[in-house]
């Protein structure tokens, strides 16, 4: 890990989650929180206490206190050509760490980035119960927990490489208060850890799933993608894409309705690639099994968990796995080996510096060839002179 990733920090709010909810975003120029060294006690410039808000216009509880926390950020550089990204719906952080299942997986696989969904905890519990004390010191953890219901939802990113910025939520209050999305910006890509809400076994929440969640989440993905970097989406997407992804009858289970599948196909059509299916088009593997029905031993499951990569990053996809040998949850991990430096690989370069030299030489060579066939335009002459 690059040492330069350890020397920056920034303060972020978990959100001023009132009627006009906005995403809590970490950047390298955020002001420090109350109580930090640069804020004097009683100063007029000291930030006011976070408000307690009550939104009567929502059908769910939105009463909570905004919490400001200190987060560490870095350069976003991932100095490896085989970045190991893992995503796992752990069905409760306290339960899985009490059994030591998550620690054993982490120790065995040593992912560079681990995305968790359905953590079912609060930031207070993480701190007071030291639920993350097992994480090696070279890793940094970012949690987005539900603020409206205990033991519900929640996502996290645990990374060896500190990102440039971290953003909580997607700008839609109903789901942002449930802690379902974290977006982390790295030098060569943006990473999103998410937990998509289920429509219910009787499809009672299907309309809100499609018309509210999918509409807003897809818009968030488009906004992140517009930044110009490849986007990697990890998490329990609660959708069954194809017949090969489900045991039993399609359309019978949550996530397998026509509307959910059509919405997912639309997302893929907008420029996202299912990394596992891209490399393994005919392999039948599941990532979820009913614990209540004891379906895992007989492998009657569904593939709800994905790692998607935008078309711009397709050349970085090297390997993709569904780890059916790891236990500890009703889901299993899904994994991706990704080369964030595939642009260097294409040019046969081992470093940025070598790529710059190569591009300069190629640019100069083109300019010289143009001279031989009849001269240069003014702009081309400048390129040739700077190259030589």
Would you please indicate which residues are annotated as catalytic (active-site) residues? 195, 236
3: Cβ–Cβ under 8 A, 6 or more apart, which residues? none
Q: Name the DSSP class of 246.
A: B
Helix, strand or coil for residue 152? Answer: coil
Length of the chain: 388
d(CA 308, CA 7): 31
Residue 37: phi, psi to the nearest 5? Answer: -60, -30
Helix (H) or strand (E) holding 10: strand 8-13
d(CA 262, CA 33): 44
52: Cβ–Cβ under 8 A, 6 or more apart, which residues? 63, 64, 65
The dihedral of CA 186, 321, 86, 169: what is its sign? positive
**Token pair listed for 192:** 């999103």
């Amino acid at each position: 890990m690059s040492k330069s990733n350890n020397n920056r920090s920034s303060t972020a709010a978990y959100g001023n989650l009132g009627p006009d909810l906005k995403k809590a975003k970490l950047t390298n120029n955020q002001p420090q929180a109350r109580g930090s060294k640069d804020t004097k006690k009683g100063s007029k410039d000291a930030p006011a206490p976070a408000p307690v808000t009550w939104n009567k216009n929502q059908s769910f509880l939105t009463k909570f206190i905004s919490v400001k926390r200190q987060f560490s950020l870095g350069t976003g550089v991932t100095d490896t050509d085989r970045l190991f990204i893992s995503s796992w719906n752990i069905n409760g952080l306290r339960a899985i760490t009490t059994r030591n299942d998550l620690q054993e997986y982490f120790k065995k696989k040593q992912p560079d980035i681990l995305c968790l969904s359905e953590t079912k905890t609060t930031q207070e519990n993480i701190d007071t119960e030291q639920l993350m004390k097992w994480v090696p010191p070279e890793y940094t953890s970012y949690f987005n927990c539900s603020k409206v219901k205990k033991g519900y939802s929640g996502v996290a990113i645990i990374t060896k490489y500190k990102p440039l910025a971290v953003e909580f939520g997607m700008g839609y209050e109903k789901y942002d208060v449930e802690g379902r999305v974290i977006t982390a910006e790295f030098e060569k890509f943006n990473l999103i850890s998410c937990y998509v809400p289920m429509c219910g076994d009787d499809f009672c929440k299907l309309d809100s799933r499609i018309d509210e969640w999918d509409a807003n989440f897809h818009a968030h993905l488009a906004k992140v993608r517009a930044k110009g970097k490849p986007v990697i989406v990890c998490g329990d997407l609660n959708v069954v894409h194809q017949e090969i992804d489900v045991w039993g009858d399609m359309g019978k289970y949550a996530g397998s309705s026509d509307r959910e599948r059509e919405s997912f196909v639309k997302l893929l059509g907008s420029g996202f690639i299912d990394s596992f299916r891209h490399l393994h088009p005919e392999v039948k593997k599941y990532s979820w099994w009913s614990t209540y029905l004891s379906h895992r031993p007989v492998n009657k499951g569904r593939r709800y968990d994905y790692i998607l990569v935008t078309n711009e990053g397709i050349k970085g996809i090297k390997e993709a796995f569904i780890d059916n040998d790891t236990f500890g949850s009703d889901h299993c991990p899904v994994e991706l080996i990704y080369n964030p430096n595939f642009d260097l690989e294409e040019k046969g370069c081992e470093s940025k510096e070598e790529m710059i030299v190569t591009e300069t030489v190629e640019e100069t060579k083109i300019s010289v060839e143009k001279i031989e066939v009849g001269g240069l335009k003014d702009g081309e002459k400048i390129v040739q002179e700077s190259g030589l």
